[in-house]
Amino acid sequence: MSRFLQQLINGLSIGSVYALMAVGYSLVYSIMNFSNFAHGGVIMLGAYFGYYYLTKLGLPFFVAFIASALTTGILAVVIERGAYKPLRERKAPFLYFIISAMGASIFLENIVIATIGPTFKSYPEILSRTPIQLGSVTLGRIDLTMFIISAICLALLVFFIDFTKMGKAIQATSYSVKASALMGINTDLVIIVVFALGGFFAGIAGVLFGMKYTVYPQIGIITNKSFIAAVFGGLGSLPGAVVGSILLGIIETMTSGYLSSNYRDLIAFVLLIAILVFRPSGLMGKITEDKA
Amino acid sequence: MDLYYIQGILMLAGINLMSVLGLSLLTGFTGMFSFGHAGFMAIGGYTSAMMTVNYGWPFIPALLMGALTAALMSALIGKLTLNLKGDYFCIATLGFGEAIRLVLDNVQYFGGARGWPGIPNYTNFTNVLIINIIAIIILANIIRSRQGRNMIAVREEELASQIVGINVFKYKLISLMISAAYAGIAGGLMAHYMTFLQPKMFSLVKSTELTIIVIFGGLGSISGSVLGALVLTSLPEILRSFSNWRLVIYGLSVIVIMISRPEGLMGGYELTPSSMKKLFTRMRSKKGNLPKSMEGGDTL
Amino acid sequence: MYKKTLALLLVSLMILTMAFTGCSKPETETAAPAEEIIKVGWMGSLTGDQAVWGQCELDTVKMLFEEINAKGGVLGKQLEVIGYDTKGDPQEAVNVAKRLTGQDKVVAILGPNASGNAIPIAPVLEQAKVPDIATVATNPKVTVLDGKVKPYNFRVCFIDPYQGAVAAGYAIEVLGFKKAAILYDVADDYSQGLTQFFEEFFVSKGGTIVAKEAFKFGDVDFRPQLSKIKDAAPEVLFLPIFFKEAALIANQARELGITVPLMGGDGLPSEQLFTMAKDAVQGTYIVNHVDYDDPEVQDLKNRYKTKYNKELELNGYLVHDAVVVFVDALERAGVADSVKITEALETTNVKGVTGQITISKDTHNPEGKDAAIVKIEGDRYVFQQKYSAK
Chain A residues whose C-beta sits inside 8 Å of any chain C C-beta? 3, 6-7, 10-11, 13-14, 17, 110, 113, 117-120, 122, 129-131, 138, 140, 209, 213-214, 216-218, 221-222, 252-254, 256-257, 261-262, 264-265
Residues of B in contact with C94 (CB under 8 A): 8, 194
Could you tell me the residue range of the domain that residue C383 belongs to? 160-288+372-387
Nearest-Å Rg of the Cα atoms of chain A is 19
pLDDT of residue A202: 92
How far apart (Å, rounded) are the C-alpha atoms in residues C57 and C63? 10
Chain C neighbors (3+ CB pairs < 8 Å): A, B
Write out pLDDT tens, residues B6-19.
888 899 999 999 99
Inter-chain residue contact C99 with B5, CB threshold 8 Å? yes
pLDDT (0 to 100) of residue C344: 93
Which whole number is the average pLDDT over B108-129?
90
**Mean pLDDT calculated for residue range A218-228:** 84
Residue A93: domain span: 19-218
In this prediction, residues C212-225 reach a mean pLDDT of 90
Considering the domain boundaries, does residue C315 fall inside one? Answer: yes
Tell me which amino acid residue C56 is: C
Mean pLDDT of C57-66: 94
Is residue B270 predicted with pLDDT exceeding 80? Answer: no
Q: How confident is the model over C278-307, as a mean pLDDT?
A: 89
User: Which chain A residues have a beta carbon less than 8 Å from that of C257?
Assistant: 138
pLDDT at B292 over 50: no
Residues C381 and C257 in one domain: yes
Report the alpha-carbon distance of residue B196 to residue B198 in Å, rounded.
Answer: 7
Give C351 to chain B, closest Cα distance, Å.
31
Closest CA to A71 of A55, A52, A86, A94: A52
Q: Give the pLDDT of residue B297.
A: 35
Please write the tens of the pLDDT for every residue from A141-190: 888 888 888 888 888 888 998 899 999 998 888 888 888 888 888 888 99
Q: How far does the CA of residue B92 sit from the closest CA of chain A (Å)?
A: 7
Does B300 reside within a domain?
A: no
pLDDT number for residue B88: 83
CA distances from B105 to A262, B99, C180 (A): 9, 10, 23
Would you say residue A2 lies in a domain?
no
Length of chain A: 292
* pLDDT for C30 beyond 60: no
pLDDT category at C26 given cuts 50, 70, 90 is very low
pLDDT classification of A123: cutoffs 50, 70, 90: confident
Interface of A with B in 172-211 (CB under 8 A): 177-178
* B284 pLDDT higher than 90: no
- Give the C-alpha separation, B245 to B242, whole Å: 5
Category of C176 on φ-ψ map: left (φ > 0), alpha (ψ -120 to 50) or beta: left
Q: Is C101's pLDDT higher than 70?
A: yes
The CATH number given to whatever domain includes residue C58 is: 3.40.50.2300
- Work out the end-to-end distance of chain A between its first and last CA atoms, rounded to an integer number of angstroms: 54
**Could you please report the per-residue DSSP string of C296-319?**
HHHHHHHHHHHHHSSPPPHHHHHH
DSSP, res C188: -
- Domain check: are C121 and C258 in the same one? no
Coil, helix or strand at residue A236 = coil
Cβ-defined contact of A100 to B255 (cutoff 8 Å): yes
Residue C60 reports pLDDT greater than 90: yes
Compute how many other C-beta atoms are within 10 angstroms of the C-beta atom of residue A273: 17
Number of domains in chain C: 2
Look at residue C70 and tell me if it is in a domain. yes
Report the DSSP beta bridge partners of residue C79.
Answer: C38
Q: Does A144 touch chain B (CB under 8 A)?
A: no
The structure's pTM equals 0.87
Let me know if residue C176 belongs to a domain: yes
> Do the beta carbons of residue C381 and residue C387 sit within 8 Å?
no
Residues from chain B that touch C103, judged by Cβ atoms under 8 A, are 1-2, 5
- Give the closest residue to A6 by CA, choosing from A131, A136, A132: A136
SS3 content of chain C, % helix, strand, coil (to 5): 45, 20, 35
* Mean local confidence (pLDDT), B221-234: 89
Best of A78, A81, A102, A187 to mutate (most B CBs within 10 Å, chain B): A102
Chains B and C form CB pairs within 8 A to the count of 145
Looking at residue A228, its pLDDT comes to 86
Q: Where are the beta strands (DSSP E) in A169-240?
A: none
User: Using CA atoms, how far apart are residues C268 and C249, in angstroms rounded to an integer?
Assistant: 12
Domain assignment present for residue C217? The answer is yes
The pLDDT tens digits for C377-388 are 988 888 888 887
Mean pLDDT of B67-71: 96
What pLDDT, on the 0 to 100 scale, is given for residue A230? Answer: 87
Chain A residue with minimal CA distance to C45? A118
A212, part of any domain? yes
For residue B176, what pLDDT is reported?
95
Residue C1 has pLDDT above 70, yes or no: no
Q: How confident is the model at residue A102 (pLDDT cuts 50, 70, 90)?
A: confident
Residues C265 and C377 in one domain: yes
**Mean pLDDT for the stretch of residues B158-182:** 91
pLDDT surpasses 90 at C229:
yes
Domain that holds residue B71: 3-295
- Interchain CB distance below 8 Å, B102 and C116: no
What is the average pLDDT across A220-233?
85
Indicate whether C255 and C308 sit together in one domain. Answer: no
Mean pLDDT, chain A, rounded, equals 87
Q: Report the distance separating Cα C126 and Cα C103, nearest Å.
A: 16
pLDDT (0 to 100) of residue C29: 44
pLDDT at res. C28? 43
Dump the DSSP string for C28-69.
PSS---GGGEEEEEEEE-SSSTTHHHHHHHHHHHHHHHHHHH
Query: Residue A74's CB: how many other CB atoms inside 10 A?
Result: 14
Q: Domain total for chain B?
A: 1
CA dihedral C359, C364, C370, C373 (to 10 degrees): 140
Work out the average pLDDT over A210-226.
Answer: 86
Residue from A106, A212, A213 to probe the interface with C (highest C Cβ count within 10 Å): A213
Half-sphere exposure of B92 (CA within 13 A, CB side): 29
Distance from CA of A269 to the nearest CA of B (A): 6
CA distance C221 to A70: 27
Residue C365 belongs to some domain of the structure: no
Tell whether A260 is within 8 A of chain B (Cβ): no
| C43 & C141 share domain | yes
Answer whether residue B65 shows pLDDT above 90. yes
The arithmetic mean of pLDDT across residues A68-85, rounded, is 93
How many domains does chain A contain in total?
1
